[in-house]
């Protein structure tokens, strides 16, 4: 008789391991910063450290003259540069003594009405987008627009900023005198890492609080300088130059051109048109009274929107998804508008929906409008010509600005009114996945709570909708794609964390449905689980550890039993599903599984058994009549480090996945940056 091993529920939770090499490259984003993370930042280090990690491999180098000519057009009448004033500013010590003289030296190169303010001690209270860090650049630059509030530092109004360091040793980047393709552009060392992270938090706060296609920044290092341009793909950084040298006037030219450039060239997304006078009916439909409303074009249509209800755009790079409740300007139909920087190389989400509807896939939204936004530089990012130096460790991806309008305004799956309704909506989403997989030949590849909507009819009947198909893949397509490993890390199948490249199957998405179901049961369904046990269980979701996740599935019925659900019927269906799923990771001592386990593993790659089990359970009329709606439960996390920061939790149904970056090993040889001449480096 074969020895079949099914380990018990894991008790100890080891620290997270680096995610191994996947079938596609990964982001550097850490699970605790995700909307469905239970850790909520518990493992997070300081904001600057985290920001530098997030942007690992996302920097490219370019010479300052090329940078200026590419992005900021010449403007006549620039004043002559008095270099003595800049030399005087550059030698002031301590650093705070540099601010005033540098501001005075740069003021002549700003358009009338523009201003520079010392904000080094005045953080913006509304700018805590990254790890809750409130930014306070040394010098903040504003245009002549009316201030949004009275704060000296206002990320929502910022045109650019200057971050000052007294020493070039704090530079976040290497010199570029050797072949840069053979080095990592990012300099090692704590100060250098923190400088990069600091710059990232500033640029991120600008793009998170404004409608922007890109943003600019300035790094001062004693008498040296770098210019920066941030997009959804990463950050372009100029080679270092001496702004005090008569050999060049790059810094002065930058401010002259920037302040005289039209708003689109400065990075403002002009397609969001502010509407100062909007009919009351539109305000009522948006449930926004006396607050900002914008008109946004999508294809040949236009829509009114207010602030986005999602937060995925709070991250420095990636798709930057913003979702808005919207109103069609012609029909006044209420809908959802999705503004995103899609990954070039993936299908447009509207195209995917067309294919799904052509194959009669049910339980998905209708598309009202879709299309790419701007043409030219402002509508795409991540493509560089030969004048740009892309390091060998680059993970830069190409993105394209895109919008999609869906004809439903649903509720998050966490808003279920009963566990019967939750099960029914989960079943609807699984049926949509089945039809997409088998009929339309489309793999979803990103099942999470954020991608399952509850859509209610006028009489209150709930239907589950499966949304967010932008990372999907057509079954006939072979090979890996250009973007990160697909999936929301908390709900990815355990086998996808293998140290070996692993081809995705339909069964992986079905495992994700199971993980979502169990997560909702533990965190939202009425249950008697104590806070410590709930926190311990939820922490598994935030751990990219294949063995731990396999053991979690292998525990079978033990896992839902630990939740101690109030509803016996709900508990029964969860136990049945988990009992079946425990076979997926069953192991045998002699490496040969019994035929019944092999048969069951094949069954788990199909939808039928899951759909039939849930349909049968939903026949329970007493369960259907129960009023056991969802409410977020309290939990206590396992203690990791007392010094680590915590971050508030949030959920959103438009979810951007992320995962830990692949462990790269030793860095390539790097250029020594200890010596620095008095002149320019270019």
Question: Residue range 372-376: average pLDDT?
Answer: 82
Q: In angstroms, rounded to a whole number, what is the distance separating the alpha carbons of residues 522 and 427?
A: 18
Looking at residue 44, what is its pLDDT?
37
Q: What is the pLDDT of residues 212-266, one digit of tens each?
A: 999 999 999 999 999 999 999 999 999 999 999 999 999 999 999 999 999 999 9
175 vs 611, more confident = 611
Q: How many CB atoms lie within 10 A of CB 650?
A: 13
Report which secondary-structure segment, H or E, holds 395: none
Helix, strand, coil shares of the chain, percent, nearest 5, are 35, 15, 50
Looking at residue 640, what is its pLDDT?
53
- Residue owning tokens 């790419």: 372
Please state the pTM of the whole predicted model.
0.85
Q: In angstroms, rounded to a whole number, what is the distance separating the alpha carbons of residues 433 and 400?
A: 27
376 vs 186, more confident = 186
Question: Model confidence at 35, in pLDDT bands (50, 70, 90)?
Answer: low
- Residue owning tokens 């920087």: 341
CATH topology of domain 21-40+412-625: Transferase(Phosphotransferase); domain 1 (1.10.510)
Lookup: tokens for 616: 């049968």
* Phi, psi torsion values for 519, nearest 5 degrees: -60, -45
Q: What is the pLDDT of residues 102-136, one digit of tens each?
A: 999 999 999 999 999 999 999 999 999 998 999 99
Looking at residue 498, what is its pLDDT?
86
Answer yes or no: is pLDDT of 45 > 70. Answer: no
Answer yes or no: is pLDDT of 608 > 60. Answer: yes
CA-nearest of 39, 36, 8 to 561 is: 8
- Residue owning tokens 């999907």: 472
Looking at residue 482, what is its pLDDT?
53
Burial track 450-482 (b if 16+ CB lie within 10 A, e otherwise): bbbbbbbeeeeebbbbbbbbbbbbeeeeeeeee
156 near 660, Cβ under 8 Å?
no
Q: What is the pLDDT of residues 177-218, one digit of tens each?
A: 444 444 679 999 999 999 999 999 999 999 999 999 999 999
Q: Which stretches of 419-572 are assigned E, i.e. beta strand?
A: 442-443, 452-456, 462-466, 473-474
The set of long-range contacts for 273-278, using a CB threshold of 8 Å and a minimum separation of 24, is 275/304, 278/304
Q: How many CB atoms lie within 10 A of CB 621?
A: 8
Answer yes or no: is pLDDT of 17 > 70. Answer: no
CA-nearest of 390, 452, 446 to 423 is: 452
Question: Model confidence at 485, in pLDDT bands (50, 70, 90)?
Answer: low
Domain ranges in the chain? 21-40+412-625, 55-266, 271-409
Q: What is the pLDDT of residues 382-419, one digit of tens each?
A: 999 999 999 988 999 999 999 999 999 999 999 999 99
Burial class (CB in 10 A: 0-12, 13-18, 19+), 92: middle
Q: In angstroms, rounded to a whole number, what is the distance separating the alpha carbons of residues 453 and 338?
A: 15
Alpha-helical regions (H) of 58-146: 64-71, 83-90, 96-106
Question: Model confidence at 481, in pLDDT bands (50, 70, 90)?
Answer: low
Report which secondary-structure segment, H or E, holds 384: none
Looking at residue 639, what is its pLDDT?
66
Answer yes or no: is pLDDT of 672 > 70. Answer: no
Answer yes or no: is pLDDT of 642 > 60. Answer: no
494 near 544, Cβ under 8 Å?
no
In the chain, the percentage of residues whose pLDDT exceeds 90 is: 77
What is the Rg, in whole angstroms, of the alpha carbon atoms belonging to the chain? 27
- Residue owning tokens 């659900």: 565
Spatial CB neighbours of 142, under 8 Å, sequence gap ≥ 6: 114, 115, 116, 117, 154, 157, 158, 159
Q: What is the pLDDT of residues 83-103, one digit of tens each?
A: 999 999 999 999 999 999 999
Spatial CB neighbours of 170, under 8 Å, sequence gap ≥ 6: 191, 192, 195, 221
420 vs 672, more confident = 420
Q: In angstroms, rounded to a whole number, what is the distance separating the alpha carbons of residues 241 and 237?
A: 12
Answer yes or no: is pLDDT of 377 > 90. Answer: no
The set of long-range contacts for 356-362, using a CB threshold of 8 Å and a minimum separation of 24, is 356/435, 356/436, 356/440, 356/442, 356/469, 358/440, 359/435, 359/436, 359/439, 359/440, 360/435, 360/439, 361/432, 361/435, 361/436, 361/439, 361/440, 362/428, 362/431, 362/432, 362/435
223 near 243, Cβ under 8 Å?
yes
Answer yes or no: is pLDDT of 307 > 70. Answer: yes
Answer yes or no: is pLDDT of 146 > 80. Answer: yes
Looking at residue 658, what is its pLDDT?
30
Q: What is the pLDDT of residues 294-303, one digit of tens each?
A: 999 999 999 9
- Residue owning tokens 């004033």: 85
549 vs 482, more confident = 549
Looking at residue 544, what is its pLDDT?
84
175 near 192, Cβ under 8 Å?
no
Q: What is the per-residue DSSP string for 429-450?
A: HHHHHHHHHHTS-EE-----GG
Question: Model confidence at 8, in pLDDT bands (50, 70, 90)?
Answer: very low
Bridge partners, residue 160, by sequence? 141
Q: Quote the mean pLDDT of the chain.
A: 87
């Amino acid at each position: 008789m074969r020895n079949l091993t099914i380990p018990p529920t894991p008790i100890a939770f080891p620290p997270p391991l680096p995610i191994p090499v996947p079938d596609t490259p990964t982001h550097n984003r850490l699970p605790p910063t995700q909307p469905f993370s239970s850790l909520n930042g518990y493992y997070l280090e300081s904001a600057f450290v985290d920001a530098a990690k997030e942007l690992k491999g996302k920097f490219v180098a370019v010479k300052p003259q090329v940078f200026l000519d590419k992005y900021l057009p010449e403007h006549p009448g620039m004043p002559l540069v008095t270099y003595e004033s800049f030399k005087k500013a550059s030698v002031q010590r301590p650093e705070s003594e540099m601010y005033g003289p540098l501001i005075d030296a740069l003021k002549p190169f700003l358009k009338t009405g523009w201003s520079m303010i010392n904000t080094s001690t005045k953080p913006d209270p509304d700018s805590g987008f990254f790890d809750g860090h409130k930014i306070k650049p040394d010098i903040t630059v504003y245009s002549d627009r009316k201030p949004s509030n009275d704060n000296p530092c206002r990320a929502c109004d910022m045109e650019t900023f200057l971050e000052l360091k007294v020493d070039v040793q704090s530079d976040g980047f290497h010199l570029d005198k050797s072949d840069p393709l053979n080095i990592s552009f990012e300099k090692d060392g704590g100060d250098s890492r923190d400088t990069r992270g600091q710059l990232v938090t500033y640029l991120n706060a600008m793009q998170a609080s404004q409608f922007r296609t890109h943003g600019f920044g300035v790094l001062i290092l004693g008498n040296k300088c770098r210019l920066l341009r941030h997009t959804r793909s990463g950050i372009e950084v100029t080679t270092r130059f001496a702004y005090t040298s008569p050999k060049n006037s790059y810094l002065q030219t930058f401010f002259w051109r920037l302040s005289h450039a039209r708003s689109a060239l400065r990075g403002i997304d002009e397609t969001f048109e502010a509407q100062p006078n909007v009919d009351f009916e539109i305000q009522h439909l948006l449930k926004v009274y006396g607050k900002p409303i914008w008109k946004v074009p999508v294809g040949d249509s236009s829509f009114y929107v207010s602030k986005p209800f999602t937060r995925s755009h709070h991250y420095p790079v990636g798709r930057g998804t913003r979702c808005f409740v919207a109103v069609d300007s012609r029909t006044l139909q209420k809908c959802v508008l999705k503004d995103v920087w899609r990954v070039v190389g993936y299908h447009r989400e509207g195209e995917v929906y067309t294919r799904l509807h052509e194959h009669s896939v049910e339980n998905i939204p209708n598309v009202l409008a879709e299309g790419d936004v701007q043409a030219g530089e402002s509508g795409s990012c991540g493509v560089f010509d030969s004048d740009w130096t892309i390091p060998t460790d680059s993970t830069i991806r190409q993105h394209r600005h895109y919008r999609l309008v869906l004809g439903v305004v649903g509720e998050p799956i966490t808003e279920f009114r009963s566990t019967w309704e939750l099960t029914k909506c989960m079943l609807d989403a699984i049926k949509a996945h089945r039809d997409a997989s088998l009929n339309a030949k489309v793999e979803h590849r990103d099942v999470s709570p954020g991608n399952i909507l509850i859509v209610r009819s006028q009489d209150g009947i709930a239907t589950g909708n499966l949304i967010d198909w932008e990372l999907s893949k057509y079954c006939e397509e072979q090979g890996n794609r250009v973007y990160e490993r697909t999936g929301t890390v908390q709900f990815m199948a355990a086998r996808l964390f293998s140290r070996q490249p692993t081809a995705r199957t339909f069964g992986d998405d079905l495992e994700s449905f199971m993980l979502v179901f169990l997560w909702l049961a533990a965190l939202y369904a009425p249950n008697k689980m104590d806070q410590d046990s709930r926190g311990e269980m939820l922490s598994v979701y935030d751990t990219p550890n294949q063995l731990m996740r396999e053991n979690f599935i292998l525990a079978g019925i033990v896992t839902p039993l630990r939740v101690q659900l109030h509803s016996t019927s709900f508990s029964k269906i969860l136990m049945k599903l988990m009992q079946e799923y425990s076979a997926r990771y069953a192991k045998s001592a002699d490496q040969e599984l019994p035929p019944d386990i092999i048969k069951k593993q094949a069954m788990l790659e199909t939808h039928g058994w899951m759909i039939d089990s849930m349909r049968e359970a939903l026949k329970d009329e007493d369960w259907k009549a129960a009023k056991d709606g969802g409410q977020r439960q309290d939990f206590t996390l396992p203690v990791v480090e007392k010094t680590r920061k915590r971050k508030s939790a949030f959920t959103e149904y438009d979810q951007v996945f992320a995962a830990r970056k692949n462990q790269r090993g030793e860095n390539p040889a790097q250029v020594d940056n200890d010596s620095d001449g008095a002149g320019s480096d270019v």
